[in-house]
Structure 1
Amino acid sequence: MAGEAPQYVAARVQRALAEDERTHELGIRVDVRGDQIFLRGQVGDEYRREAIAGVAGEAAPELEVHNEISVVEVRDPGEEENL
């Protein structure tokens, strides 16, 4: 993996996030800069946020993971909207 182009490392991590049973995540942005990987996006809870960082770290153990994923509150739909 040494000398692997950043875009290939990012693609490997994104594939791992999509395929791992702990995450099955497609909506996270993965950026690689030098020996660091940055994860950005939004999820519904802290457990999922940490699981994504864990899977990314396993997929690219040579990189330092920066978890910049936000946890957003998921609410039930409110009143019916009349158009």
Structure 2
Amino acid sequence: METPQYVAARVQRALAEDDRTNELGIRVDVRGDQVYLRGQVPCDERRHLIEAVAREAAPGLTVHNEIRLLEVHEPGEEEHL
């Protein structure tokens, strides 16, 4: 059986190398047969593509997509800190 670190590295590499995602900013945590994806992306479509690539890279494991959408402000909109 593969170690969690090996599975996480494989998923991370797939996200970076797959033309659909080319994603470097997603954190991948593996606990047992559970894969957790965390980070932020600009749109829902990207969120789903990342999940699809992760599922292909880790067949048979349960993928939890905890990726959040970035808050995008319209230009000129006041930003409250």
So what's the TM-score if we normalise by structure 2?
Answer: 0.88
Rounded to whole Å, the distance in 2 between the matches of 1:68 and 1:14 is 15
Q: Which of the pair has more CA radius of gyration?
A: 1
Matched length: 77
Q: Which amino acid aligns with 1:39?
A: L
Superposed CA RMSD in Å reads: 1.5
Rounded to whole Å, the distance in 2 between the matches of 1:35 and 1:77 is 43
Choose which of 25, 29, 33 in structure 2 pairs with 1:27.
Answer: 25
Residue 15 (structure 2) aligns with: 17
Moved over 6 A (4+): none
So what's the TM-score if we normalise by structure 1?
Answer: 0.86
Cα deviation 1:1-21 (Å, max 9, x = unaligned): xx1000000000000000000
Match of 1:38, SS state, is strand
Gaps of 5+ in 2: 77-81
| Identity in percent | 71
Give the deviation of 1:75 after TM superposition.
4.0
Residue 38 (structure 2) aligns with: 40
